[in-house]
Amino acid sequence: MRKRLSESFLRAEERSDLARAIEDYLNYLVVEKGLSNNTTEAYRRDLNAYASHLKGRGVDLDAISPADISAFLADLRGRYADSSIARLVAAVRTFHKFAVREGLTDNYPTSMLRSPKRALRLPHALSVEAVKALLDSAWGPTPADYRSRAMLEMLYSSGLRVSELVGLDLADVDLDYGYVRCTGKGSKDRVVPLGSMAVDAILAYKNKARPVLAKGKRPAALFLNARAERLSRQSCWKAVKRAAAKVGIGEIYPHSLRHSFATHLLENGADLRAVQEMLGHASVSTTQIYTHVTKKRLQEVYERTHPRARR
């Protein structure tokens, strides 16, 4: 035991100042900022890539220069999408700000660093007809079929993220009043309405399938796998893919139903702020991308139907 402890201590001592600072920053994100494991791991991957680049240049925390960071970003271009580079820039910038604030270094090489301008990528929303076909395809006699139908109806009815969906407990859903309470990004709770068709699907799953999946146990999770445990995000993704394959819909993800939820609400006159609240977006500017989708569709309809739209 003493040998293992001493070896562990030695490895910690041998780590560079940069590596120790990155670990302190990641701990700060978890403990003080309350970021999720998924978000923290994304920061870890980005900063490890950054640290590996700097190690190759023989540079540690106090010696990092703007030129080192520029070389790192230049190496990424052509291999990473603009959105990924923007995320890396944000991670590097906030890390260095933390390191200076905490007194880990006086070096602040990112003071003039700016994120690259990202091209606007519109979310892909299904048509109302495609959503109906997708949801109808999930009908079936098995517990897994009932579960898939309930999940798909819920994703489209409430616009939940897949992580929010599988994180639901039985107590989070009120079928009498038609709403669901979920915990989103930044550990923020919100309440979202459920449509009557989603309520019916969840009720059918709850009464006919969940008791079978629970196997006599009393798990808290709403959606269960065959071992009476909380369903994983991967299993939800597979259920969506299976339903899409039945009706010939191509590339689709659980998030596609969230996009469709927001787009269809706005196309039918919903208030942008209300949609923002239901989606759990911290800023309305994030929700505004869906207005671009609706405008694009309006333009397509106009050009297709107006007799003088095209020459």
**Residues with Cβ within 8 Å of residue 14, at least 6 apart in sequence:** none
Instruction: Spot the catalytic one: 124, 242, 255, 297.
Output: 255
Mark whether 121 is an active-site residue: no
Which pair of tokens denotes residue 177?
């009043």
Question: Which one from 185, 206, 230, 297 is the annotated catalytic residue?
Answer: 185
Phi then psi for residue 306, to 5 deg, are -80, 130
Would residue 296 show up in a list of annotated catalytic residues for this protein? no
Token pair in block for residue 98: 């933390």
Active-site option among 181, 230, 281, 297: 281
- The active-site residue out of 25, 146, 205, 290 is 290
CA 81 to chain centre: 17
Q: How far is CA 31 from the centre of its chain?
A: 20
Is residue 258 annotated as part of the catalytic site, yes or no? yes
Q: Which of 96, 147, 149, 161 is catalytic?
A: 161
| Cα–Cα distance measured from residue 311 to residue 294, given in angstroms and rounded to the nearest whole number | 24
- What is the β-pairing status of strands 189-193 and 179-183? antiparallel
Phi-psi sector, 182: left (phi>0), alpha (psi -120 to 50), beta: beta
**Residue 281 known to be catalytic:** yes
Catalytic residue among 96, 210, 258, 259: 258
Residue 185 annotated among the catalytic residues of the structure: yes
Is 290 an annotated catalytic residue? yes
Rg (CA), the chain: 24
Following CA atoms 141, 244, 270, 282 in sequence, which dihedral angle do they give, to the nearest 10 degrees? 100
Helices (H), 58-190: 66-76, 82-101, 128-136, 143-158, 162-166
Write out the catalytic residue numbers.
161, 185, 255, 258, 281, 290
